[in-house]
């Protein structure tokens, strides 16, 4: 399988995953026009999409969902509570395009197994996805206040991770966000910090080549260089030598990452 993080951050999220037979998006948090452009930049077309998996109903994950669904007739997958929460947010999605993807289940699309798992986030019933194909494993996990042992169980020993590294704690504390927003971000149902993400990573990676994409970076309370420094130094204190078998990659709010095989 191959994947590209089309866009990542609080301005909009979408990840593209494909193999030789199927093509999917996880979330459509940007306008349809932007999604078309981003997908075009990795040489792919919206018309080829076989489905969109929705993680939760926050606008940075579903902004372009309704229009994309109607324009391209793509099947949309989300769990029951998320469907209910999206009501009125995405406009009309035709009944034949609405599919329910239950929490902690697996759906099979040809050689793809797509697995859903719960995260801790202030949405109706937030869940993320793991893609399996031919023994290879791609884990997507952002929008979670922390990484629980249960989550660690699901995401262990993947070949690639799209991992949230949302904020730097001290930058957030010093920054000019109002207190209630700071509290939300730092809470168990907000977002995971650079250090906490790194500690979780250190507990789930195995000693094989692993690509980790640092994602959903806060625009005001983080920076790519800071996230990379912070994650790599924390990983190193946890005994993982970055650059040997664990490799860190940036994602961007406006530019897709290279479409690479897992």
In the complex, which residues of this chain contact other proteins (CB under 8 A)?
Answer: 168, 170-171, 174-176, 220, 223-226, 229-230, 233-234, 236-237
Residue 60 binding Zn ion, by CB under 5 A: yes
DSSP code of residue 208: S
Residue 58 binding Zn ion, by CB under 5 A: yes
Q: 59 vs 173, which CB is nearer to other proteins?
A: 173
| Span of 43-51, 138-146, 180-188, 222-230 interacting with Zn ion by CB under 5 A | 138-146
Q: 189 vs 229, which CB is nearer to other proteins?
A: 229
Tokens 């966000």, residue located = 177
User: Maximum CA pair distance of the chain?
Assistant: 51
Q: Apex CA 155: angle with CA 153 and CA 159, to 5°?
A: 140
d(Cα 258, Cα 2) in Å, to the nearest integer?
10
Minimum distance from residue 13 beta carbon to other proteins (Å): 19
The torsion defined by the Cα of 205, 235, 152 and 100, in degrees rounded to 10, comes to -90
Residue 58 contacts which entry, Zn ion, other proteins, none (Cβ below 5-8 A, type-dependent)? Zn ion
Residue 81 contacts which entry, Zn ion, other proteins, none (Cβ below 5-8 A, type-dependent)? none
Residue 79 contacts which entry, Zn ion, other proteins, none (Cβ below 5-8 A, type-dependent)? none
Q: 65 vs 235, which CB is nearer to Zn ion?
A: 65
Minimum distance from residue 16 beta carbon to other proteins (Å): 24
User: Among residues 27, 36, 133, 143, which is the contact residue for Zn ion, using CB under 5 A?
Assistant: 143
Q: 59 vs 173, which CB is nearer to Zn ion?
A: 59
d(Cα 60, Cα 81) in Å, to the nearest integer?
18
Q: CB-based contacts of 122: which residues, under 8 Å, 6+ apart?
A: 184, 187, 189, 190
d(Cα 111, Cα 104) in Å, to the nearest integer?
19
Q: 7 vs 155, which CB is nearer to other proteins?
A: 7
Measuring CA to CA, how many Å separate 197 from each of 6, 119, 167, 169, 234?
21, 13, 10, 12, 9
Return the closest-CA partner of residue 160 out of 240, 225, 232, 245. 245
Residue 226 contacts which entry, other proteins, Zn ion, none (Cβ below 5-8 A, type-dependent)? other proteins
Q: Which residues bind Zn ion (CB under 5 A)?
A: 58, 60, 143
């Amino acid at each position: 399988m191959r994947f590209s993080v089309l866009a990542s951050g609080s301005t909009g999220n979408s990840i593209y995953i494909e193999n030789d037979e199927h093509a999917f998006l996880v979330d459509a948090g940007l306008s349809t026009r932007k999604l078309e452009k981003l997908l075009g930049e990795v040489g792919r077309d919206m018309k080829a999409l076989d489905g969109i998996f929705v993680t939760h109903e926050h606008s940075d994950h579903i902004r372009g969902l309704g229009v994309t669904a109607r324009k391209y007739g793509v099947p949309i997958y989300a769990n029951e509570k998320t469907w209910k929460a999206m009501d009125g947010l995405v406009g009309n999605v035709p009944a034949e395009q609405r599919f329910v993807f239950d929490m902690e289940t697996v759906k099979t699309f040809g050689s793809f197994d797509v697995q859903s798992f719960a995260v801790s986030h202030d949405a109706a019933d937030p869940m993320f996805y793991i893609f399996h194909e031919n023994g290879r494993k791609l884990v997507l996990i952002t929008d979670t206040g922390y990484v629980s042992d249960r989550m660690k169980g699901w995401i262990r020993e993947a070949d690639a991770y799209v991992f949230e590294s949302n904020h730097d704690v001290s930058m957030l504390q010093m920054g000019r966000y109002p207190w209630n927003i700071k509290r939300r971000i730092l809470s168990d149902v907000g977002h995971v910090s650079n250090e906490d993400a790194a500690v979780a990573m250190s507990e789930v990676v195995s000693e094989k080549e692993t690509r980790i994409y640092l994602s959903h970076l806060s625009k005001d309370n983080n920076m790519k260089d800071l996230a990379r420094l912070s994650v790599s130094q924390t990983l190193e204190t946890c005994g993982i030598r970055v650059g040997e078998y664990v490799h860190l990659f940036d994602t961007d709010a406006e530019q897709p990452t290279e479409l690479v095989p897992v």
